[in-house]
Structure 1
Amino acid sequence: MTASTMMNTAQMEAVAARHPHLVEGSSRKRIRSALFFAGLALYMVYSWWFFSIGQVLANANWGIAGTYLADWVSYEVRPDIRIADDGTMQVVYPRYSPLGPDAEPEWVRIETRMMERTVEAPVATQQQAPKESSSFSFMAPNAAVGGAAPAEVKPETRTEEVVSRATIAFNPTTSIDVAEGQVTAEHRGETLRIDLDRANGVQPVGDLPAWASQKRPGEKITLSFGMTGWADVDVEKISIHNRFPGWANFIFDTQSPFFGKSFGEVAGLVLGGERLDPDRSNLSLAWNNILYNSEWQHLDVWTKLLQTIVMAFVGTLFASVVAFPLSFLAARNITRNGLLNQATKRFFDFLRSVDMLIWALFFTRAFGPGPLAGMSAIFFTDTGTLGKLYSEALENIDDKQREGVKSVGAAPLAVQRFGVMPQVLPVFASQALYFWESNTRSATIIGAVGAGGIGLKLWEAMRTNSDWENVCYMVILILIVVFLFDGISNLLRSRLMGQKTH
């Protein structure tokens, strides 16, 4: 074994002595590989420093990202506890609360008591008719000829039922209790007491736990409970954000007569119940309420999604139709004119060098917001890209087939029809199908800049920074369409290229 090794080593040394260029070439390859990886590592270090990636990661607020993701699959109920000067409270829900009007959820418990309150009440005064006068007179700004005198008010004492205590139970381990100018918050076994003083502001009793934050003394305190929700505690108002999993009112909104009913109750009304609207059946009413759901706007979302699909299809179709004849002018082996070849190729370069988003902004200014701007942007960009791809496919055809057709005396048009088209047509159709599937995604992006379709609606929902569940709904619809079109495109391309599908 040792002799064999020594022999092999000796033989290798002899070969290296006779052919030194072999060893040197191998050494150069190793050096080049080492230099390449060293340069790549140096570039990564430079990029890390130049873009301050470490600082960005350190300063990133990952909690906000988690909150946004939670908002995609949940909804919030946001009651406000408003505190008057005399310490009485009022629990108020937003106008478009997911709970509908007159909400009384079980997790909001209030205690009331009778109290004498002094309020400002208007005093009824007798209107005195003005005297007629033919002379012109200058009047005070608030006075008017024949108008009533300003209403007078005076203090009035009333006995009213007022809220003296409010308790918000987020879950068994998290709650907020408000009573007598003090807020008591409990979360995972920790208790925080906060005094509400109109003179000194919001004052925590003791140190703030990790789930509470206050920017400056006296200002509001934010209580973060993770996926459960959060709250802002201020002197005059405590804003509650209680989060629940799921999408609220996805089928029927709070204005629908079917709101709050179970599936069995809705099915009973639709199939054989008494008409809720004398002018239409319950089935028609239910379907109308679903389509025109004011919170989810299903009909509008589906219409915008269809616009996006049509926008991508029409833009790709027109681009394919225009790029097809132009590609023959750009192909050097088809059109034997260098000037025409270069002019057509530079035209393709111009169209595709301008990004689709820039074309969309241009046509939005030209045509106004809408699908026409989106279709034009797709048409211009894809005409350049498909034209380049088509011309390259033509330049790489097998000339034997074309020469064979030409040898039988066929006309030039027949040579292209039978000698060229059978070779490139499947490739052209395959590339057009791929771009159609890809443009379905691109149409969503350019729609966000005003080019119409679901992209614009998606951007509007994101700008509110509160309708993330609507964003999730539209993203899921887009994914379904993309997956569906990707499968159809792959199937058709496989058939055109003569491949078997699995």
Structure 2
Amino acid sequence: MATLSAAEIDDISARYPEVFAGSQRKRRTGWLVGLGIASYLVFAWWFFAVGSVLAGGNWGIAGIYLADWVSYEIRPTVEFRGDRLDVTYARFSTYQADRQPDWVTLEPAGAPPPGVEGVAERAVIGIGRDNSLDITPRLVTVVRGNETLVIDIVPDERVTARGALPQWAEQKTPGEKLIVSFGFAGRAEIEADEVKIRHRFFGWENFVFDGNSPFWGKSAGEVLSLLLSGPRLKPEMSNAALAWDNIWNNSEWQHGDVWTKLLQTIVMAFVGTVFASALAFPLAFVAARNITPNRFANQLFKRFFDFLRSVDMLIWALFFTRAFGPGPLAGISAIFFTDTGTFGKLYSEALENIDDKQREGIRSVGAAPSLVQRYGVVPQVLPVFLSQSLYFWESNTRSATIIGAVGAGGIGLKLWEAMRTNSDWENVAYMVLLILIVVFVFDNISNVLRRRLIGRTVID
């Protein structure tokens, strides 16, 4: 391909100035548009102080929250009781004074009072690999890898470290609380009256059986042996029935309640979508100009559809929660109102774009008006109507989760309750995973049905 010289280009531009003028205008317009976009982005960055927001963000907290989704913590507290130590756990923790984890070692403090457990003169707590805390009433020795930090305790008065603090230890005020970090494995807060330990483990604790189950702590082989041939753990029911009851009523993960709420969400989306489709179908015929030649009726129903869909589904959910109280009825009503407006608009527009030749052919043989609509209009639009309804059914499964969080029932409310505790993020991850699976399944079902209704070529 020959390359034009500068002289030849100048000669051509002199002979055809209008062509080159248009090209130059387009080039200038493109540069001006690009400059305008760049200027707007710079202004937005400055006006909203994006740089300061990014710099001031507490990214460490985000990392902790992310870790909480895929891990859990066991939190023993070692309290100083004179010359003794008292190891305690949260009220509903799997571990208690009479059930210590294997990484907590207690050296007995002589003869403890009757019925008192978890009391010792010394506690050795391993946190991850090569990390430990050796705790006595007046001395805490922290080992992290090859480094050792010795901390003197004056009960109820002060905490003092011997020597300079390593990078993994922090004490904001001399004599006050001292924090040591072991990375992902956990941390410890050493105070003058107690030591709070947070030991983190990867995974979901007690996902199958909680600490109250007779199957808790047993290996998969032991559980299977009990299910198949072991003696009954409860005389009134088989081991298989007992295992299912323990899983379904797991007090920590609440599988039964979560799955019931998930089914409630699916039913909300389905019923709300079906009712909206059923009501919007006949109303759309009145709103379509080519079907109902009454301008007042057309405008009345189109504005009615606009009103229903202009109010967001979340606002409708708040309104119906106030009217009916918390529960799935409020969620169904919110989906029904919003989708009636949306379907009415979509259906009426589809009706206004039909091919009138088919309708005229049915009318030419003297068919009644109802038969004209039945055989001349419905076959054209029904696949489109069903396709749109199926898409919104899948979409409403996601929306039902959101409106559930404001009291409309379903798994959304359960999810919001878990998030509000700020400590059950593994439960949040569990419910989010279930929602993702349900949306994935319903999306594929919707796609398959739409392909069968309106053809693979239209969908693809």
- TM-score (norm: length of structure 2): 0.92
Distance in structure 2 (CA, Å) of the matches to 1:6 and 1:407 = 70
Contact 2:207/2:253, CA 8 A, preserved across alignment: yes
Alpha-carbon RMSD across the aligned residues, in angstroms, is 2.5
* 5+ long unaligned stretches in structure 2: none
| Residues in 2 aligned to 1:215 and 1:183: alpha-carbon distance in whole angstroms | 18
Query: Residue 9 of structure 2 aligns with which residue?
Result: 9
How far, CA to CA, are the matches of 1:235 and 1:320 in structure 2?
66
Partner in structure 1 of residue 247 of structure 2: 290
Give the counterpart of 2:367 among 410, 418, 441: 410
Of residues 378-387 and 171-180 in structure 1, the stretch that sits farther from structure 2 once superposed is 171-180
- Counterpart contact for 1:100–1:254, Cα < 8 Å: no
2: CA distance, partners of 1:338 / 1:455: 42
The DSSP-based 3-state class of the residue aligned with 1:254 is: coil
Match of 2:389 in 1: 432
Q: Alpha carbons of 1:200 and 1:290: their partners in 2 closer, same or farther (altered >3 Å)?
A: closer
- Which is further off, 409-418 or 290-299? 409-418
* Equivalent in 333, 337, 352 of residue 395 of structure 1: 352
Identical-pair percentage: 62
The corresponding residue for 2:435 is: 478
Asked if 1:383 corresponds to 2:340, the answer is yes
Cα deviation, residue 226, structure 1: 2.4
Aligned counterparts of 2:455 and 2:159: Cα–Cα separation in 1:
74
Deviation digits for residues 102-134 of structure 1, max 9, x if unmatched?
Answer: 22322112233438x9x9xxxxxxxxxxxxxxx
Deviation at 1:176, TM superposition (A): 1.8
Give, in whole Å, the separation in 2 of the partners of 1:234 and 1:4. 83
Q: Which of the residues 104, 110, 117 maps onto 1:108? A: 104
Partners of 2:83 and 2:353 in 1: CA distance = 85
* SS of equivalent to 2:37: helix
Which of 64, 68, 82 is matched with 2:65 structurally?
A: 68
State the Cα distance separating 1:10 from its structure 2 match.
5.5
The number of aligned residues is 456
| Amino acid of the structure 2 residue aligned with 1:375 | I
Aligned to 2:53: 56
User: Please, which of 23, 26, 29 is the counterpart of residue 29 of structure 1?
Assistant: 26
Q: Secondary structure at the residue paired with 2:233?
A: coil
Change (3 A) 1:376 1:218: farther
1:152-191 pair list within 5 angstroms: 163-191=120-148
CA distance, structure 1, for counterparts of residue 3 and residue 396 of structure 2: 68
Alpha-carbon spacing, 1:162–1:344, altered in 2? closer, same or farther (3 Å): closer
CA distance in 1, matches of 2:134, 2:195: 10
2:25, 2:277 → 1: CA distance? 48
Q: CA deviation at 1:182?
A: 2.7
How many Å apart are 1:239 and its aligned residue?
Answer: 0.9
Pick the aligned partner of 1:41 from 38, 60, 65.
Answer: 38
- 1:356 has 2:313 as partner: yes
Q: Which amino acid letter does the alignment assign opposite residue 89 of structure 1?
A: L
Distance 1:247 1:265 in 2: 20
Change in 2 beyond 3 A, CA 1:5/1:404 = farther
Distance 1:492 1:100, change over 3 A: farther
Map residues 79-94 of structure 1 onto 2, 5 A cutoff: 79-84=76-81, 86-94=82-90
2:265–2:397: 8 Å Cα contact kept in structure 1?
Answer: yes
Q: Is this contact kept in 2: 1:364–1:373, CA < 8 A?
A: yes
Taking a change above 3 Å as real, the CA distance of residues 498 and 368 of structure 1, as seen in their structure-2 partners, is same
SS of the aligned residue for 1:66 comes to: helix
CA drift at 1:364: 0.8
Change (3 A) 1:64 1:10: closer
Q: Please tell me whether Structure 1 or Structure 2 has the larger radius of gyration of its CA atoms.
A: 1
Once residues 4 and 68 of structure 1 are traced to their aligned partners in structure 2, the CA distance between those partners, rounded to angstroms, is 63
Cα distance in structure 1, aligned partners of 2:132 and 2:88: 18
Tell me if the contact between 1:114 and 1:162 (Cα under 8 Å) persists in the aligned partners. Answer: no
Query: Which residue of the other structure, out of 93, 96, 121, is the alignment partner of 2:92?
Result: 96
Q: Which amino acid in structure 1 is aligned with residue 53 of structure 2?
A: V
**Partners of 1:249 and 1:348 in 2: CA distance:** 50
Q: Does the 8 A contact of 1:231 with 1:238 survive in 2?
A: yes
The 5 A counterparts of 1:254-333 are: 254-333=211-290
Amino acid at match of 2:267: V
- The correspondence for 1:244, drawn from 201, 205, 222, is 201
Matched, 1:220 2:177: yes
Query: Which of 162, 173, 191 is the equivalent residue of 1:205?
Result: 162
1:140-192 per-position Cα deviation (integer Å, ceiling 9, x unaligned):
xxxxxxxxxxxxxxxxxxxx995222221112332222224232323343333
Give the Å deviation of 1:252: 1.3
Deviations 1:208-228 (A, max 9, x none): 333333443433223332211
Match of 1:114, SS state, is: coil
Secondary structure of 2:456's partner?
A: coil
- Report if aligned partners of 1:113, 1:161 keep a CA contact under 8 Å in 2: no
Flag the 1:43–1:292 CA change in 2: closer, same or farther, 3 A. same
Q: Deviations over 1:312-346 (max 9, x none)?
A: 00011111111111212222222222222222122
Q: Is the 8 A contact 1:113 1:164 kept in 2?
A: yes
Aligned to 1:78: 75
In the alignment, residue 33 of structure 1 is paired with which amino acid? G
8 Å Cα contact 1:114/1:161 also seen in 2? no
Whether the aligned pair in 2 keeps the contact of 1:307 and 1:453 (CA below 8 Å) is yes
1:354 positional shift: 1.1
**1:465-494 CA-partner distances (Å, limit 9, x unpaired):** 111111111111111111100000011111
Matching residue's letter, 1:311:
M
Amino acid at match of 1:290: I
Q: Secondary structure at the match of 1:444?
A: helix
Cα distance in 1 for residues equivalent to 2:208 and 2:290: 61
CA contact (8 A) 2:87 2:97 kept: no
1:73 and 1:472 in contact (8 A); partners too: yes
